[in-house]
Amino acid sequence: MAPYVGEWSNGRGEVMVVTAKKMKYGKSEVTYTDITKATDGNSFQLKVNVKEKMTIFSNFLFVEMLTNKTEMKIKGYDTHAALMEDAEGASEDHWYRDN
């Protein structure tokens, strides 16, 4: 199981639940595909499966596990090219494991 699967909070009272195929944040739930090609076990690339842009989830996510996998940083990008280039203007959130 990927280390980003689980229940996470962001310190502002908000919770995100990640399963092997879905991410749920508030009332928004999306499916995603792990598109990571090679990893050190701490960084992953995810493609959010949505037809139109959402304000909560970007189309592509770079997930980085921190602090012995109890903290996760997610950077969001609009395109796969932006993800690959780590382009500026990406959203960034920190999450802390609840379980």
Span 7-64, pLDDT tens digits: 999 989 999 999 999 999 988 889 999 999 988 999 999 999 977 666 677 899 999 9
DSSP state of 88: T
Would you state the pLDDT for residue 52? 67
Would you state the pLDDT for residue 36? 95
Q: Where are the alpha helices (DSSP H) in 6-99?
A: 80-85
* Burial class, 67, CB count within 10 angstroms (exposed 0-12 / middle 13-18 / buried 19+): exposed
- What's the CA gap between 84 and 78, in Å, rounded? 11
Instruction: Report if pTM > 0.75.
Output: yes
Would you state the pLDDT for residue 6? 96
Would you state the pLDDT for residue 44? 97
Would you state the pLDDT for residue 88? 74
